[in-house]
Amino acid sequence: MAAGSAVITTRIGGPDEIVRDWYNGVKVSPNNVDEIVNAAKVLLSNDELRRNIARNARDSVLRWYTWDRIARWTKKVYQDVLEEYEGTKWVSLW
C-alpha cells in the first residue's frame, strides 16, 4: 500500500482492519482461490480502477500511518496495559 500498489488481502487479521474493500485494496475470503483470481482479473483488466485503488492505498498510509501516529498508538497501548495492571506485583524473569 505504501508503495502505491493495489493490494489483495484476506478478511482476517490486521489487513482487514486497514483495507476498505474496493477503495484502498481488495478483500477476499481466506483460502478462496477463486476470489483471489477474480479480484486479480478485475484489477488487471481495469486500469482506472487499479490506479484509483493504488492512489487511495498510498494516501491512506500517508494519512494514517505516520511515525507520529504510530508512536502515539504504541504509547497508548503501554499506558492502557500499565493502568490495567496498576498495583500488580511484577516478577522479573531474569
The SS3 call for residue 88 is coil
Region 61-68: mean pLDDT is 93
- pTM, rounded to two decimals: 0.75
Q: How far apart are CA 32 and CA 50, in angstroms?
A: 21
User: How much is the mean pLDDT over the chain?
Assistant: 91
- Whether the per-residue pLDDT at 93 is higher than 60: the answer is no
DSSP symbol at 16: H
The SS3 call for residue 28 is strand
Region 41-49: mean pLDDT is 98
Please tell me the predicted confidence (pLDDT) of residue 88.
66
- Whether the per-residue pLDDT at 87 is higher than 70: the answer is no
8-84 CATH = 3.40.50.2000
